[in-house]
Structures are given as C-alpha cells and as structure tokens.
C-alpha cells in the first residue's frame, strides 16, 4: 500500500512540475517578441480627416492636385517594398502633419511592432482609410513603414519579414493610438 501511495504522489508531483514549466515557457514566449525594425527615429504623419468631409471631397469632380494625392495616400496600399518609401518623402506637402515620436516611446512601439506567436489574428471588414503613417528610420535611412487605419483596425507594414504585413490584435491598435496621440 505504501508503494502505491508513493507512486501516486510521485506521479502527481511530476505532472504539477511539468505543467508549471510549460506555462512558464508559454508566458515568456508571449512576453518576448522580435521587433520588426531596428530604428533610432520614428516619424508619425497623420491627417485629420473628418469622414463626412472626406466623402464630400471624394465625390467632387474637380479635385485639386493636393486633394487627389492625399486621397490616394489614404486609400491605396500599393507600396510593397522599402524602395517604395520615396512616395512618403513629401507627405507634408499634401497636408499630412509630421510629429517626431519621442525616443521614450520606442520600447512600447517595439512591443507593438514585433513578431508574436499567435494562433489567430483579428481582421476587419471595412475599407481602410490610412490616416496615420509611421516611417521607421535608422541612421537617417528608412528601414520600414506602416500605414494604419485605427477606425478599421487595419494596417500595412513594409520592411518587416515577408510574413508580417499588419498588426495582429485590437490591443496593438489601441496601444499604438494611445502612444501616438498622448501628450
């Protein structure tokens, strides 16, 4: 009887320690993520566009050159490689507002823009209007960029690994919006 009791408790202890160890590894895997970019500066460009005003502009037949370029930038996701980043050099000329993101926010940005081991991701069913663009630079050279639609929760990321083209969770969008628009 003592042998059975000893075997039983040994079995229980082995199971408990095995489960705890696996959970610990899983938690660490979630906490650690490989950043998409190595950067020393981030430029945030955004346009304050009222949805009703944007729709009215779109319906007009006689768009100015600036309005046409701005709408193209907000709606199109044609930039697929870093070489395409040249189209982002004149965003201020088409009424995007530029803000240099403080380096104190880089740690949080790295936790948002990183490879994560997720079983699934969230997606939206709307047409994105990319009002926010982030340009990631290292030594004044563009290493990546992201176009973000906070309204739909959609993004286009270029410069990261081939399998990474967007942010994956609603929480990522919420955190990003918070750090970009907080003072």
Per-residue pLDDT band for 69 (boundaries 50, 70, 90) equals confident
pLDDT tops 60 at residue 9: no
- At CB < 8 A and 24+ separation, what contacts does 149-155 make? 150/176, 150/177, 151/51, 151/126, 152/124, 152/126, 152/127, 152/128, 153/122, 153/124, 154/123, 154/124, 154/126, 154/128, 155/128
How many domains in the chain?
Answer: 2
Tell me, yes or no, whether 84 and 131 share the same domain. yes
**Residue-range definition of the domain harbouring residue 168:** 33-181
Q: Say if residue 76 is in the same domain as residue 20.
A: no
Overall pTM > 0.95: no
**28 and 94 co-located in one domain:** no
My answer on whether 111 and 169 are in the same domain is: yes
**13 & 24 share domain:** yes
Indicate if 164 and 109 belong to the same structural domain: yes
Same domain, 97 and 155: yes
Does one domain contain both 20 and 66? no
Compute the average pLDDT of residues 39-45.
95
Q: Looking at the structure, tell me whether residues 25 and 41 fall in a common domain.
A: no
Q: Does one domain contain both 24 and 104?
A: no
Question: Per DSSP, what are the bridge partners of residue 157?
Answer: 146
Claim to verify: residue 41 and residue 123 sit in the same structural domain: yes
pLDDT tens, residue by residue, 159-183: 876 566 677 688 899 999 999 998 7
Q: What's the distance, Cα to Cα, between the start and end of the chain in Å?
A: 69
* pLDDT tens digit sequence for 116-158: 765 555 555 688 889 999 999 999 999 988 999 998 888 888 8
Q: Are residues 27 and 70 in the same domain?
A: no
């Amino acid at each position: 009887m003592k042998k059975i009791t000893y075997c039983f408790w040994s079995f229980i202890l082995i199971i408990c320690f095995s489960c705890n160890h696996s959970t610990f590894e899983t938690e660490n895997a979630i906490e650690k993520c490989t950043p998409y970019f190595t950067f020393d500066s981030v430029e945030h460009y955004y346009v304050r566009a009222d949805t009703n005003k944007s729709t009215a502009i779109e319906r007009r037949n006689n768009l100015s050159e600036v309005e046409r370029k701005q709408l193209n930038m907000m709606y199109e996701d044609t930039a697929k490689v870093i070489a395409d980043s040249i189209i982002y050099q004149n965003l201020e000329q088409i009424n995007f507002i530029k803000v240099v993101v403080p380096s104190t926010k880089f740690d949080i940005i790295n936790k948002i823009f990183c490879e994560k081991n997720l079983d699934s991701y969230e997606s939206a069913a709307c047409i994105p209007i990319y009002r926010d663009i982030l340009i990631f630079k290292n030594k004044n050279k563009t290493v990546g960029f992201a176009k973000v639609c906070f309204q739909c929760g959609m993004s286009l990321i270029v410069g990261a690994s081939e399998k990474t083209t967007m942010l994956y969770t609603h929480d990522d969008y919420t955190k990003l919006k918070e750090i970009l628009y907080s003072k």
